[in-house]
């Protein structure tokens, strides 16, 4: 076996000296990893379930070792060691992903590389409106670091107390503020990445314009650790809004929700920072399982919409603008009733209702989840046709339809008929329901993964729905950038 310090040919595939780590040289390899990151940070025994079990508890893998580097150079050294040994690496942040992309497979031959120890905020530059942070920093801590400096870092999602910014970027996370601020991708200006060769690319730029070559930043973002390991990022800060108001409106149909979205864009401009649509059945589950939340307006309307208006001026101004939009919407008939939160606590409660849909579904029993996106204009017809299609195939099927309508992103989930056994329903219907929903998504020009990614959950479904020329390009890029298939193999795109 060659020493891991020896130079690795950059980007040119060379035959590897593969070692059979399980039988022969495991001890020597583990010893190498210990040299890279220190004895205490290579875990092989004890309860490793937080690293090996996926967030939704769908799958449990088995790692050869969990390695927890404390610096970018240590990450690079670990990668070089793995390249030499022919051992593949699964990078992991907070392990909150929903597509089984950040746990090892069950071979016991992969290294789980956790970025959790790299959680420093390296720099805040308020004149440049940027913050530089290490990959393992928990999203909520990034938000707080921004807030303490008087600024907003707008990425916000359910798991923000556990997920890491590195994971957010690797999966191009979405969340609730995308309608104004974009996905994780749009919030990032620069990256530091360890390549599949163990080189360090220092692309930690705080530049808003840089046309010196290919967009490697965006190639790495959303590649789910298959093209490089993100170790740090420079992200955008925004001025903190002077006021943020939340409203809740009953709308008579999906078409009317789309109409309301147009009105809100027109009259609030960039003030529109949230636009969530929720179907009646989804809200009935919240009301059933969390009656104390007092979900408003849902009983007499098929859909409700939550709107958020962030204002650079004042709360009075925000309220006046909101009332202006809602009055117009009432006049036009695209809203039948509405409330505006009077204070922060009411606003939080409205968001809390929206965010409780996921838990309320779980209380009701497992269902078949879809994270899809469509052109906003196609959503009314998509919902109508797909609802009818599912009802036709499954008697009494129940649809938990909600999502970020402002971004065309629906969580279009399919629940077993009332009184049915959820586990049986899932086992018997999941493939068929997925095919029905995804075929319909394809017909309307949509995506089968809006914000959750591909991971291993959708890697074998993707080829049926993605343009073949795009798949060929993806494959050739993966082969070129990671010629030994060391980084998170079998996720996003298969090579064979």
Which residues, numbered 156-215, are part of the site for its own copies (CB under 8 A)? 171-172, 174, 178, 180, 182-183, 185-186, 193, 195, 199-203, 205-215
We find the least distance from the C-beta atom of residue 165 to its own copies, in angstroms, to be 17
Among positions 275-314, residues that touch its own copies (CB under 8 A) are: 310-313
Can you tell me which of 14, 107, 126, 316 binds its own copies, judged by CB under 8 A? 126
Contacts of 46 (CB under 8 A, 6+ apart): none
Stretch that binds its own copies, among 15-23, 52-60, 120-128, 360-368 (CB under 8 A): 120-128
Can you tell me which of 407, 429, 484, 485 binds its own copies, judged by CB under 8 A? 407
Exposure string for 418-454, b = 16+ CB within 10 A, e = fewer: eebeeeebbeebeeebbebbbebbeebebbbbbbbbb
Can you tell me which of 408, 415, 416, 489 binds its own copies, judged by CB under 8 A? 408
CA 169, CA 187: separation in Å to the nearest integer? 9
* Chain Cα centroid distance, residue 450: 9
The CA-atom distances, in angstroms, between 287 and each of 38, 247, 354, 413 are 51, 18, 11, 18
Can you tell me which of 16, 43, 339, 477 binds its own copies, judged by CB under 8 A? 477
Q: CB-wise, 158 or 375, nearer to its own copies?
A: 375
325: phi then psi, degrees, rounded to nearest 5: -65, -45
The CA-atom distances, in angstroms, between 380 and each of 238, 284, 387, 433 are 33, 21, 11, 20
Can you tell me which of 86, 93, 271, 279 binds its own copies, judged by CB under 8 A? 271
**How big is the CA angle at 302 (ends 301 and 306), to the nearest 5 degrees?**
80
Q: CB-wise, 208 or 427, nearer to its own copies?
A: 208
We find the least distance from the C-beta atom of residue 216 to its own copies, in angstroms, to be 6
Q: CB-wise, 116 or 246, nearer to its own copies?
A: 246
We find the least distance from the C-beta atom of residue 221 to its own copies, in angstroms, to be 7
Q: CB-wise, 204 or 368, nearer to its own copies?
A: 204
Can you tell me which of 2, 5, 11, 417 binds its own copies, judged by CB under 8 A? 11
Do the Cβ atoms of 164 and 252 come closer than 8 Å? no
Q: Is 469 in the site for its own copies (CB under 8 A)?
A: yes
* SS3 assignment for 416-473: CCCCCCHHHHHHHHHHHHHHHHHHHHHHCCCECCCCCCCCCCCCCCHHHHCCHHHHHH
We find the least distance from the C-beta atom of residue 42 to its own copies, in angstroms, to be 26
We find the least distance from the C-beta atom of residue 257 to its own copies, in angstroms, to be 11
Do the Cβ atoms of 448 and 372 come closer than 8 Å? yes
We find the least distance from the C-beta atom of residue 349 to its own copies, in angstroms, to be 26
Can you tell me which of 73, 266, 316, 392 binds its own copies, judged by CB under 8 A? 266
Stretch that binds its own copies, among 43-51, 161-169, 290-298, 469-477 (CB under 8 A): 469-477
Would you mind telling me the total number of residues written for the chain in this entry?
A: 496
We find the least distance from the C-beta atom of residue 134 to its own copies, in angstroms, to be 18
Among positions 37-96, residues that touch its own copies (CB under 8 A) are: none
Among 296, 245, 317, which Cα is nearest to 274's? 245
We find the least distance from the C-beta atom of residue 12 to its own copies, in angstroms, to be 9
Q: Is 466 in the site for its own copies (CB under 8 A)?
A: yes
Among positions 211-250, residues that touch its own copies (CB under 8 A) are: 211-216, 218-219, 221-223, 227, 239, 241
Residue position matching structure tokens 């493939």: 431
Among positions 427-456, residues that touch its own copies (CB under 8 A) are: 445-454
We find the least distance from the C-beta atom of residue 270 to its own copies, in angstroms, to be 3
Can you tell me which of 25, 35, 53, 128 binds its own copies, judged by CB under 8 A? 128
Do the Cβ atoms of 145 and 121 come closer than 8 Å? yes
Can you tell me which of 2, 5, 10, 352 binds its own copies, judged by CB under 8 A? 10
DSSP of 85-141: HT--EEEESSS--SSS-SS--TTS-EEEEE-TT---EEEEETTTTEEEEETTSBHHH
Give bridge partners of residue 113 from the DSSP assignment: 67, 91
**How big is the CA angle at 164 (ends 163 and 166), to the nearest 5 degrees?**
135
Among positions 321-340, residues that touch its own copies (CB under 8 A) are: 321
Q: Is 7 in the site for its own copies (CB under 8 A)?
A: no
Q: Is 486 in the site for its own copies (CB under 8 A)?
A: no
Contacts of 431 (CB under 8 A, 6+ apart): none
Among positions 365-394, residues that touch its own copies (CB under 8 A) are: 373-378
Instruction: Please tell me the count of residues contacting its own copies according to CB under 8 A.
Output: 99
Give bridge partners of residue 234 from the DSSP assignment: 132, 190
Q: CB-wise, 69 or 408, nearer to its own copies?
A: 408
Q: CB-wise, 258 or 390, nearer to its own copies?
A: 258
């Amino acid at each position: 076996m060659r020493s891991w310090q020896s130079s690795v040919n950059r980007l040119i595939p060379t035959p590897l000296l593969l070692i059979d780590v399980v039988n022969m040289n495991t001890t020597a390899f583990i010893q190498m990893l210990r040299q890279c990151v220190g004895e205490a940070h290579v875990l092989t025994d004890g309860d490793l379930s937080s690293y090996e079990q996926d967030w939704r508890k769908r799958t449990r893998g088995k790692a050869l070792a969990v390695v927890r580097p404390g610096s970018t150079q240590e990450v690079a050294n670990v990668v070089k060691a793995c390249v030499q040994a022919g051992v593949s690496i699964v990078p992991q942040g907070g392990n909150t992903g929903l597509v089984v992309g950040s746990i090892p497979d069950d071979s016991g031959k992969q290294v789980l590389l956790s970025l959790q120890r790299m959680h420093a905020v390296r720099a805040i530059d308020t004149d440049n409106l940027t913050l530089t942070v290490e990959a393992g920093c928990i999203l909520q801590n990034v938000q707080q670091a921004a807030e303490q400096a008087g600024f907003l870092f707008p990425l916000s999602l359910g798991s923000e107390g556990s997920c890491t910014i590195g994971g957010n970027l690797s999966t191009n996370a979405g969340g609730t503020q995308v309608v104004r601020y974009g996905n994780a991708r749009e919030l990032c200006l620069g990256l530091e990445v360890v390549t599949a060769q163990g080189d360090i690319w220092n692309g930690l730029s705080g530049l808003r314009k840089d046309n010196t070559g290919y967009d490697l930043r965006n190639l790495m973002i959303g590649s789910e650790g298959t093209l490089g390991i993100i170790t740090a990022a420079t992200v955008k800060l925004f001025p903190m809004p002077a006021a943020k108001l939340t409203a809740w409106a009953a709308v008579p149909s999906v078409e009317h929700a789309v109409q309301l979205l147009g009105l809100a864009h027109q009259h609030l401009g960039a003030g529109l920072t949230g636009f969530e649509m929720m179907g009646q059945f989804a809200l009935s589950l919240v009301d059933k399982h969390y009656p104390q939340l007092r979900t408003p307006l849902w009983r007499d309307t098929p859909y409700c919409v939550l709107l958020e208006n962030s204002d650079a001026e004042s709360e009075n101004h925000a309220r006046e603008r909101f009332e202006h939009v809602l009055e117009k919407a009432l006049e036009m008939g695209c809203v039948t009733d509405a409330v505006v939160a009077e204070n922060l606590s009411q606003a939080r409660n409205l968001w809390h209702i929206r965010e409780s849909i996921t838990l309320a579904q779980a209380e009701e029993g497992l269902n078949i989840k879809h994270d899809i996106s469509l052109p906003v204009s196609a959503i009314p017809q998509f919902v109508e046709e797909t609802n009818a299609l599912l009802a036709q195939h499954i008697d009494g099927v129940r649809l938990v339809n909600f999502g970020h309508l402002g971004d065309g992103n629906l969580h279009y989930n399919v629940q077993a008929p009332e009184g049915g056994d959820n586990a049986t329903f899932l086992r018997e219907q999941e493939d068929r329901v997925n095919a029905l929903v995804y075929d319909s998504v394809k017909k309307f020009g949509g995506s089968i993964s809006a914000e959750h990614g591909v991971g291993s959950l959708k890697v074998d479904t993707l080829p049926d729905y993605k343009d073949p020329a795009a798949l060929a390009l993806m494959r050739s890029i993966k082969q070129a950038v990671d010629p030994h298939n060391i980084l998170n193999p079998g996720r996003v795109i298969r090579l064979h």
